[in-house]
Amino acid sequence: MKAHLFSLLALAVTITACSSNQPVQIVKEPSTKTEYTPIRNPHSPQQALPTNVTAICVDGSYSTSPLNEACVGNGGAKQIISRYHSE
């Protein structure tokens, strides 16, 4: 009996909460105009780097060590340089 009364009370509270007679507000459509500002490319072009560079370090320097040792003392590798070529 208590469960039945509790269910009716919960139903009454739900109906009362849902029928508060507040008007629905319509959200205005956001502006779709997008302005793009050109930015400078933060990556160094590969043509300016020596041929034996394997990685660009976080601090801006470059490494010629094997990839597992690249930029160990310079904050880690920011970008790995892959140059696949046959000799």
59 lies in some domain: yes
Q: How many domains does the chain have?
A: 1
Write the pLDDT tens digit of every residue in 69-84.
888 888 888 888 876 6
38 lies in some domain: no
11 lies in some domain: no
pLDDT of 34:
59
60 lies in some domain: yes
Residue 66: domain span: 49-86
The answer to whether the CB of 34 falls within 8 A of the CB of 17 is no
- The C-alpha atoms of residue 87 and residue 84 are separated, in whole angstroms, by 10
pLDDT of 55:
86
pLDDT of 33:
64
pLDDT of 86:
55
25 lies in some domain: no
31 lies in some domain: no
pLDDT of 39:
63
DSSP string, 23-56: PPPPPPPPP-----------SPPGGGS-TT--EE
Write the pLDDT tens digit of every residue in 44-53.
454 567 788 8
First to last CA, the chain: 88
**pLDDT (average), residues 55-61:** 86
